[in-house]
């Protein structure tokens, strides 16, 4: 699977990349300064700010050119914009790891989760790399923190 993680220069993006298997190709995108050396290595791409009016279309172009199967947005403004256009990306076979509009309206995000928290990726109700879907979240996706006991999930993002 080809995966694009936004906020790619953050420690959170690097941590989430380790959730996936070695066979998966992870590319990091960010709108902050990325050293040319990293871009030349092919694992980093420049993307527009999530607050940009053209963010969705520019990210779609980057995703298509990198043959991305999955996009994991980390910044809140990116999550909100992408949640509104899941269908557009789905037309190109690209899954978005974002919660539904319904969930976005009621859930509070943990912003800038600390490195000591157990952050992972929820994809259609399943914790990445694990089996059974979580009953009440079977259609939900996003970056989340799992409680110490494993019974609760909290969605998180970068500021």
pLDDT reported for residue 152: 74
Q: What percent of the chain has pLDDT over 90?
A: 69
Over 90: is that where the pLDDT of 96 sits?
Answer: yes
The stretch 65-75 carries a mean pLDDT of 96
Number of alpha helices (DSSP H) and beta strands (DSSP E) in the chain:
6, 10
- Residue 65 CB-density burial (10 A; 0-12 exposed, 13-18 middle, 19+ buried): exposed
From residue 133, alpha-carbon distances to 3, 10, 21 in Å are 21, 28, 19
pTM score: 0.93
Q: What is the three-class DSSP state of 48?
A: coil
Q: What is the three-class DSSP state of 77?
A: helix
> CA 48 to CA 74: how far, in whole Å?
13
Residues 122-159: tens digit of each pLDDT: 998 888 877 666 777 778 899 998 777 666 778 999 98
> CA 101 to CA 82: how far, in whole Å?
10
Residues 27-53: tens digit of each pLDDT: 999 999 999 999 999 999 999 999 999
- Give the pLDDT band of residue 11 (cuts 50, 70, 90): very high
pLDDT reported for residue 31: 95
pLDDT reported for residue 10: 95
The DSSP H or E segment spanning 76 is helix 76-83
């Amino acid at each position: 699977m080809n995966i694009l993680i936004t906020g790619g220069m953050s420690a959170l993006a690097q941590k989430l990349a380790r959730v996936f298997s070695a066979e998966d190709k992870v590319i990091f995108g960010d709108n902050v300064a990325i050293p040319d050396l990293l871009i030349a290595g092919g694992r980093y791409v420049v993307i527009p700010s999530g607050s940009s009016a053209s963010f969705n279309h520019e990210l779609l172009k980057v995703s298509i050119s990198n043959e991305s199967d999955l996009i994991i947005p980390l910044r809140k403004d990116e999550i909100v914009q992408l949640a509104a256009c899941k269908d557009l990306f789905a037309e190109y076979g690209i899954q978005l790891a974002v919660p539904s509009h319904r969930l976005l309206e009621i859930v509070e995000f943990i912003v800038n989760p600390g490195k000591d928290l157990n952050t992972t990726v929820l994809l259609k109700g399943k914790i990445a790399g694990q089996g059974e879907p979580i009953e009440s979240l079977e259609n939900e996706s996003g970056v989340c923190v799992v409680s110490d006991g494993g019974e609760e999930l909290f969605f998180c993002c970068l500021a």
